[in-house]
Amino acid sequence: MIDEQTWKEVVDRLEKAERVVITTHVNPDGDAIGSEVAVSEILAQKGKQVHIFNHSPTPKLYDFLNGRGWIEHFDASRHEPLLEEADLAIILDISDWARLGEVGKALQKSDVYRICIDHHIVTDGVAQLMVVDRQASCTGEIVFDLAKRVGADISGRLAEALYTCVLTDTGSFRFTNTTPKAHRMAAELIERGVPFLEIYERVYEQNSPGRICLLAEAIRDLHFENGGKIAWFRVTQKMLKRCNASYWETENLPEMPRSIQGVEVTIMFAETAEGFVKVSLRSKGRVSVHDLANKFGGGGHPYAAGARLKGSLDEVVPVILNEAKALFR
């Protein structure tokens, strides 16, 4: 819950600001990009000057939200002067300096007033004003409340951006963070004309032939441990070549074995071109995989974590499997 005093201050700061910069975490997801676009649309309606720049480029998947071309890839020489001129910076979907990348460094050097809007556990006090609700299904849900409080016209781009937040962060209303409020937000946005079919298609139905080929390769390499509770597979450089696929196209692959009866934990071992193995761990929710990733210098969430290990697949796979099996002891 965000208290009334905090709301009052956010609304006040927003009304008074003239030049606002907006940013989010590295490797932004749908909630991060959606929140940025939503906040920028709210501010544009109020006649404010807005700049959005992120450490990472915008994933192609979310290009459809960037119709105005406002989201830029951070470039110190162009963006640091904008930061100097700005009277407000809004940090979305993250409260961790490290995960703000180069933009975080620039923000720390600047003395612009900062507001952080987020629904994760607070890592750092990245802003003077922290607007955090751990109960919110997504950052977009907080921005939705904000839009109402400032009397924004919630339609068009703004509504689409907000819908993308709640759709993607709840995995189409199925992940554990799906709340009654998330559903009611979706209901309202659909009433306001959001093309929900099209947004689903843009987000979830954009597989490349390379990615679908990798899926087949991954299935053929499926192995099971602990009576089927653990499912694992490898993605080799050879597979990538055979499928004419890029490394980033392995992105959603670790989700695949989730759909198999009885599987609790899935592990993807992806061989990089530089002699590393990227280990991606997913859990259906009964076992935490975060500590396992942490043990090997990685991190993440309880049910989605990862690590990068030096070595070959033959070296890394047995080490990780040993630890994974121990999760069920």
Q: Interface with a copy of itself by CB under 8 A: which residues?
A: 172-176, 178-181, 183-184, 186-188, 190-191, 196-197, 200-201, 204-209, 212-213, 215-216, 219-220, 222, 224, 257-261, 263, 284-285
Q: Output the CA torsion sign for 125, 127, 128, 130.
A: negative
DSSP β-ladder status, 265-271 and 276-283: antiparallel
Minimum CB separation from a copy of itself for residue 212, in Å?
A: 6
Minimum CB separation from a copy of itself for residue 142, in Å?
A: 18
Minimum CB separation from a copy of itself for residue 211, in Å?
A: 8
* Token pair for 269: 């071992």
Minimum CB separation from a copy of itself for residue 179, in Å?
A: 7
* Token pair for 133: 């609700």
- If the CB atoms of residues 207 and 246 are measured against a copy of itself, the closer one turns out to be 207
- If the CB atoms of residues 18 and 201 are measured against a copy of itself, the closer one turns out to be 201
Residue 187: how many CB atoms within 10 A of its CB? 10
- If the CB atoms of residues 121 and 187 are measured against a copy of itself, the closer one turns out to be 187
DSSP code, position 261: T
Half-sphere exposure of 175 (CA within 13 A, CB side): 17
Are residues 76 and 101 in contact, defined by beta-carbon separation less than 8 angstroms?
no
Residue linked to tokens 């989730």: 258
User: Residue 195: what residue type?
Assistant: P
Minimum CB separation from a copy of itself for residue 249, in Å?
A: 12
- If the CB atoms of residues 176 and 322 are measured against a copy of itself, the closer one turns out to be 176
Residue linked to tokens 């139905």: 205
Minimum CB separation from a copy of itself for residue 139, in Å?
A: 19
- If the CB atoms of residues 118 and 169 are measured against a copy of itself, the closer one turns out to be 169
- If the CB atoms of residues 18 and 191 are measured against a copy of itself, the closer one turns out to be 191
Please state, in angstroms and rounded to a whole number, the distance separating the CA atoms of residues 263 and 258. 6
- If the CB atoms of residues 125 and 171 are measured against a copy of itself, the closer one turns out to be 171
Q: Which of helix, strand or coil describes residue 120?
A: coil
Minimum CB separation from a copy of itself for residue 66, in Å?
A: 18
Are residues 64 and 77 in contact, defined by beta-carbon separation less than 8 angstroms?
no
Are residues 73 and 57 in contact, defined by beta-carbon separation less than 8 angstroms?
yes
Are residues 144 and 133 in contact, defined by beta-carbon separation less than 8 angstroms?
no
